[in-house]
């Protein structure tokens, strides 16, 4: 059986592309998905569908970032996209989950549709994601040599639940210092740049620790990295603002510790 063609991730090349015309590759009932993909959309009913397109401006949930929401439409049909995920059966395909407005017909394979993301939510998620990297960079700068075994583990960039998790015990006394460093980076209006690196590029920059297996990066492809100039570099497939100043006021809320790891929560205003 032929390997399904990967979805072109247009949002990774232009995070300000809020509308895009693209073709429908497939459409099916959400309840007819393979079990692994069906588990991605536990709320699915017989009224819900999953659409795959040639390209997408919708960021699928992952890397700590929520999925975009919005619509896909033609002149006589509107499909409300309420969740987006990467296909776990066919690597590289993006699944757009949602339902057609009442009385509207389903799309046809090969038909051209216009995608439109919810711009307000996209900008919020982009600010939160960049702010999370700023927090990670600030914490690393202060504590990498202070805490044995320090490392960044994972992050959540969801509204009302944004946090970065680190290896090592970060005492509460560091909160003010982390806040001061975060403020320095945000107020410094540091450029946020997107680059594409090979494994050799990571090694040349002394960042071998960032090389990881990513099922959505095909063999021979380069890794997308986000460079906050003057702060740090992260392999990242998410959406971002153009500079740290665009994050807005970023507040370190609290530091919690459990079983040798620490979570630093934050919010943007």
pLDDT digit string, tens, across residues 83-100: 999 999 987 999 999 999
pLDDT in tens, 45-77: 999 999 999 999 999 999 999 999 999 999 999
Quote the pLDDT of residue 103.
80
Ramachandran sector of residue 103 (left: φ over 0; alpha: ψ -120 to 50; beta: rest): left
**Which residue carries 């394979």 as its tokens?**
109
Prediction pTM value: 0.93
Could you tell me the residue ranges of all domains in the chain? 8-117, 122-268
- Give the H or E element holding residue 47: none
Q: Which of 141, 135, 49 is nearest to 96 (CA)?
A: 49
Q: Quick one: what percent of the chain has pLDDT higher than 90?
A: 87
Are 240 and 129 within 8 A, CB to CB? Answer: yes
State how far the Cα of 151 lies from the Cα of 165, in Å rounded to an integer.
Answer: 9
User: Mean per-residue pLDDT for 247-263?
Assistant: 97
Cα–Cα distance measured from residue 207 to residue 204, given in angstroms and rounded to the nearest whole number: 8
Question: What pLDDT was estimated at residue 1?
Answer: 41
CA of 47: how far to CAs of 28, 79, 102, 115, 219, in Å?
11, 11, 10, 20, 37
Q: Tell me what pLDDT residue 3 has.
A: 54
CATH architecture of 8-117: Beta Barrel (2.40)
In the block, residue with structure tokens 């009932």: 29
| Total count of residues recorded for the chain | 269
CB proximity list for 12: less than 8 A, separation 6 or greater: 194, 224, 237
For domain 122-268, give the CATH number: 3.30.980.10
């Amino acid at each position: 059986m032929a390997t399904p063609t990967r979805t072109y991730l247009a949002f990774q090349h232009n995070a300000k592309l809020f509308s895009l015309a693209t073709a429908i590759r497939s459409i099916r009932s959400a309840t007819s998905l393979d079990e692994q993909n069906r588990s991605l959309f536990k709320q699915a009913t017989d009224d819900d569908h999953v659409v795959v397109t040639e390209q997408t401006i919708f960021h699928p949930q992952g890397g700590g970032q929520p999925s975009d929401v919005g619509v896909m439409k033609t002149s006589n049909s509107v499909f409300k996209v309420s969740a987006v995920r990467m296909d776990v059966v066919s690597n590289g395909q993006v699944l757009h989950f949602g339902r057609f407005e009442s009385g509207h017909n389903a799309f046809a394979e090969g038909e051209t549709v216009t995608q439109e993301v919810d711009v307000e939510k996209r900008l919020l998620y982009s600010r939160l994601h960049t702010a999370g990297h700023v927090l990670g960079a600030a914490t690393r700068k202060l504590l990498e040599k202070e805490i044995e075994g320090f490392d960044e583990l994972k992050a959540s960039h969801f509204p009302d639940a944004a946090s970065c998790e680190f290896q090592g015990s970060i005492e509460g006394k560091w909160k003010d210092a982390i806040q001061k460093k975060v403020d320095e980076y945000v107020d410094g209006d540091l450029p946020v740049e997107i680059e594409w690196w090979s494994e050799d590029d990571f090694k040349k920059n002394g960042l071998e620790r960032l090389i990881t297996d990513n099922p959505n990066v095909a063999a021979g492809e380069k890794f997308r990295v986000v460079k906050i100039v003057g702060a740090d570099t992260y392999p990242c497939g998410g959406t971002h603002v153009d500079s740290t100043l665009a994050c807005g006021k970023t507040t370190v809320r609290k530091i919690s510790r459990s079983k040798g790891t620490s979570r630093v929560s934050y919010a943007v205003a």
